[in-house]
Amino acid sequence: MGHTLISRMIRAARLDAALYEEGEADRRTMIQAVAAVLLSGLAAGIGGLGKAGPMSLLLWTGNAISEWLIWAILTYVIGAKLFSEPDTKTDLGELLRTIGFASSPGVLRAAGVIPGITDAVFVIAAVWMLAAMVVAVRQALDYRSTSRAVGVCVLGGLIQMTFSVLLLRSQGIDPRSLGHLGG
């Protein structure tokens, strides 16, 4: 299959383990991984226009970037340092690339602009992105066990969500006022 951004995002959304191996191994995929994060964030901003208005684009894009960076750092610390397996060898760049591609299913969130389905679309996209994250983490950390990757993602996700809520509150933003953003 081709190596265009779109083809890689489709493969990432299909949970293609080989795509995550490519992202792990090929430093040149970083630009595409960043683009996947930005497109996912912009899609969420479009989908959230009805709840947060025009600021939604800025909030969601900024949120996508910060969450991506936080997820990668947390995954590195939790997965590569605390819960590594004998074959685990990774660096932050590998995690940034694989986790970046794991945000690909988030482009679905643009459909949230349709009144009445916003929350359902965001929940479906979140679950799909979490599944992609598990595959990305399993591949990037060379885990034999999917359950170990699930544990790393759940623990990292709880820490990351807490950080996001605190960050929003520090900026004077009530996360509940944004609907699906920030819990």
DSSP letter (8 states) at residue 85: -
Report yes or no on 58 lying in a domain.
yes
Most trustworthy range by pLDDT among 8-17, 50-59, 174-183: 8-17
Rounded to whole angstroms, how far apart are CA atoms 174 and 113? 21
The rounded distance, in Å, linking the Cα atoms of 41 and 91 is 24
Does residue 115 form part of some domain?
yes
State mean pLDDT over 30-41: 97
Domain range for 38 is 5-178
- Residue 167, amino acid: L
Q: Is residue 77 part of a domain?
A: yes
Mean pLDDT of 169-178: 72
Q: Which two tokens stand for residue 88?
A: 């685990």
> pTM for the full model?
0.88
DSSP code per residue over 41-65 = HHHHHHHTHHHHTTHHHHHHHHHHH
What's the structural domain count of the chain?
1
24: phi > 0 → left, psi -120 to 50 → alpha, else beta; which? alpha
95, part of any domain: yes
Q: Record the tokens describing residue 71, joined without a space.
A: 């997820």
- The alpha-helical segments, DSSP class H, found in the chain are 5-13, 17-25, 30-47, 49-52, 55-75, 92-102, 118-140, 146-170
Is 97 inside any structural domain? yes
Would 113 be classed as within a structural domain?
A: yes
Look at residues 94, 24, 37, 47 and name the one whose alpha carbon lies nearest to residue 67.
37
pLDDT of 183:
38
Residue 183 lies in a domain: no
Cα 36–chain centre separation: 9
Each residue's pLDDT tens digit, 105-121: 999 999 999 999 988 99
Kindly state whether residue 105 falls inside one of the protein's structural domains. Answer: yes
Query: What integer pLDDT is reported at residue 25 of this predicted model?
Result: 93
Supply the pLDDT for residue 50.
Answer: 74
Tokens 């779109």 sit on residue: 6
